[in-house]
Amino acid sequence: MQERVLKIPELILIAGTRVALGAGVGLLIGDRLGRDVRKGAGWALLTVGALTTIPILLDVLSKPHQVRIRKAA
């Protein structure tokens, strides 16, 4: 397995995009708000979450991975 080192701000940014995606999907399938409001907010959050994931993913994958050798116990 490859390991990459992430800084705290990068980790928070990744978590934020996951939250936006999840909230968007939740609004799209929920029924507590009006249909138009829910649909607009859901699609907006889903789009923002998905589009911001792409550059973050590319940044994480471009980082050099660390190889750790574990000794057998």
- pTM score: 0.55
Which residue spans within 1-73 are E strands per DSSP? none
Q: Is residue 26 part of a domain?
A: yes
Q: Is residue 39 part of a domain?
A: yes
Q: Is residue 27 part of a domain?
A: yes
DSSP letter string, 45-61: HHHHHHHHHHHHHHHHH
Tally the domains of the chain: 1
How far apart CA 31 and CA 43 sit, in angstroms, is 14
Q: Is residue 20 part of a domain?
A: yes
Q: Is residue 29 part of a domain?
A: yes
What is the structure's pLDDT at 73? 55
pLDDT averaged over consecutive 10-residue blocks of the chain (73 residues)? 75 84 80 80 82 82 67 59
Please give the residue range of the domain that contains residue 43: 8-62
Q: Is residue 37 part of a domain?
A: yes
Q: Is residue 71 part of a domain?
A: no
What is the structure's pLDDT at 62? 82
What is the structure's pLDDT at 59? 81
